[in-house]
Structure 1
Amino acid sequence: MKKNKFMVAIATAALTLFFTSCNKDESVTDDALETGNVPELVALETSIEAVESTADSYSLYAMSSLDFESTTTGKSDSEKLPPEKRCHDRSGFFPDCTEFSKEVTDNTITITVSFPENCIDRNGDVISGTITIVKSISDTDRTRTATFTDFTINGHVINGTKTHEFTAANNDGNPQISGSVDISVETDEGTVTKVGTRLVVITSGGDTHTHADDEKTITGSHTFTDAEGNTRSVEITTPLVKPAACKYIVEGVKTYTKNGETSSLDYGDGTCDNVGTLTEADGTVTEIELKRKRRKH
């Protein structure tokens, strides 16, 4: 694609998750677009996509890759695991500053993943706060609820829940999580909310434990509301693709609808670059360039 027609700054947190870094040791950070001729809500929603993607990565690998001693058998009170019984992260995704604990009751297992202030993850992002994963002790119920409590990525604060059904192998043999999203994110533009559904599939690399070779596709739809109460419905009309070897989403289309008018953002043809194409409701086409930028304080 031709670049430099329109420059866009991205303002959110790193993407290691469902579509983050080139080797998942890098990430897209701070994805808020400067508005200019780009519709303001589209710009802001694009920034929140980056934050949510990072959060998705943490919940995905917490669900699929954490091994706790005696996690699925026996009963215990809430316990902080000593170093010799530290949770084993098969994916290699979690930074060394991560703290893990578990609680097993008659019916549920609760895994708490917490990060102290100024914890630096493997993407160089500053994170803090807590993610709590709750799952039932059942051979048939694959539902997990991830609750984010002041989970902060480069100054962007996430609160809310994601309720997922984790499938180790779908009909194509790939791992996936699917379910509902109900989160708020504090941004430079105020607190915004995102409510909807989301499906993330590891389409390549799911047969290894490491996160570094995972290619992901993302589909879903949601309602996005900014701090002023402006809303827009958003649907991923062509699956978003985040390869392991690129820090950007390289394919896929999002369609935005407001007051019966639609616009779309096309992430590209599979080429690893930082350019997307926005087509507004009146037919105006603008190329945008994604840049790394952290939230201002």
Structure 2
Amino acid sequence: MNKFKILMVLMALGFVSCQNDDSSNLSSDDSFSSEAIAEEAESVLDNIALYSESTFGVYQSTGKTSLDSKTDGTSKRGRSGYFKDCVDITYEETDTTRKLTITFTGDCTDSDGNIITGTITKLRSKTDTSAERSITITNLSINGYLVNGSKSYTYTASNANGNPEMTGSVDISVVTDAGTISKVGTRTVEITAGADTDTCTDDEKTITGSSEFTDASGAVYSMVIDPALVKPAECKYIASGIKTYTNANGVTTVDYGDGTCDNIAIKTAADGSVTEIELGRKRHH
């Protein structure tokens, strides 16, 4: 009987050992390269949400109106310059809602060089005292990766620091070369410099939040941003800040750097190994 018990214990230990060898040990470079693509996609969604606000000149008309026309020399796509001529924005107002349909035609390139194709819809309830907005993303292509999901947030033109700020939740999936990944969590984006001008090209953004990330293998782990991610106005990539990923097998960090503008982040895995990750924007098709 004792031998039988010992055998059962050894078998159980062997099973646990095998379980700990799967991809949930956070060591996969593919997982973190894919997460970098998801971060880039989420940053694009942040910009679409921010620069489609009325403070940037988009919600200017009433009734069913195309926002392609110009009034007093100002494009109905807003004053930020984020939405190019390849973007068609249609505004529809009912008794209870305000709706924007934003369509990126062809391969539409934004000011950061991201290539966007497809349509998203943005709704705001007139009766919602919290002024919450919701965005629906359906088969939107960002740099060749298919994005689906939703984003709900509130926006203030001037927070306690006097800056524009957007805060809320996100639930997206992204089809990458390694497979489909997903992020569910909360996120706050503050324009910490450049907010005193209408143009988006001089805006520095600071990003905080946390999420649950599922990689292409199905492994799930939590993520916290601390210190905040910073994207300088002159850089197309996040230049500083740290993401920390945690699950039962340990802690992995991704460090975006010291503020130097480059497309490299440093990953330190739970086993102490250190590797470079190239940030996003690989599949323009």
- Determine which of 153, 157, 165 is the counterpart of 2:142: 153
For 1:235, the aligned partner's letter is V
- Determine which of 271, 282, 285 is the counterpart of 1:282: 271
What is the CA deviation profile of residues 22-76 of structure 1, one whole-angstrom value per residue up to 9, with x for unaligned ones? xxxxxxxxxxxxxxx75442332122111211121112111242434434xxxx3
Q: Structure 2 CA distance, aligned partners of 1:123 and 1:273?
A: 13
Question: Counterpart of 1:294?
Answer: 282
Give the drift of 1:79: 4.1
Q: Structure 1 CA distance, aligned partners of 2:280 and 2:215?
A: 22
- Identity, in percent, stands at 46
CA contact (8 A) 1:42 1:256 kept: no
Greater shift, 195-204 or 100-109, is seen at 100-109
1:80 and 2:66 equivalent? yes
Give the drift of 1:178: 0.3
For 1:83, the aligned partner's letter is S
CA contact (8 A) 1:142 1:167 kept: no
Give the drift of 1:120: 3.7
- Determine which of 10, 25, 44 is the counterpart of 2:34: 44
CA contact (8 A) 1:239 1:253 kept: yes
Question: Counterpart of 2:257?
Answer: 268
Q: Structure 2 CA distance, aligned partners of 1:285 and 1:189?
A: 21
Report which of the two has the higher share of helix. 2
**Structure 2, unaligned runs of 5 or more:** 1-26
CA contact (8 A) 1:192 1:226 kept: yes
Greater shift, 47-56 or 191-200, is seen at 47-56
What is the CA deviation profile of residues 184-217 of structure 1, one whole-angstrom value per residue up to 9, with x for unaligned ones? 1111122221101000010111121110111111
Give the drift of 1:123: 4.3
What is the CA deviation profile of residues 97-130 of structure 1, one whole-angstrom value per residue up to 9, with x for unaligned ones? 1111111111211111112233344444432111
Greater shift, 210-219 or 138-147, is seen at 138-147
For 1:1-297, what aligned pairs fall within 5 Å after superposition? 39-63=29-53, 64-71=55-62, 76=63, 78-81=64-67, 83-84=69-70, 87-137=76-126, 140-286=129-275, 288=276, 290=278, 293-295=281-283
CA contact (8 A) 1:249 1:267 kept: yes
Name the larger-Rg structure: 2
Change (3 A) 1:125 1:239: closer
Q: Structure 1 CA distance, aligned partners of 2:115 and 2:149?
A: 20
The aligned length equals 255
Q: Structure 2 CA distance, aligned partners of 1:289 and 1:40?
A: 9
For 1:80, the aligned partner's letter is S
Give the drift of 1:81: 4.6
Q: Structure 2 CA distance, aligned partners of 1:230 and 1:289?
A: 19
TM-score (structure 1 length as normaliser): 0.78
Give the drift of 1:226: 2.5
Corresponding residue SS for 2:108: strand
Change (3 A) 1:285 1:113: same
Give the drift of 1:296: 7.1
Higher relative contact order (CA 8 A, sep 6+): 1
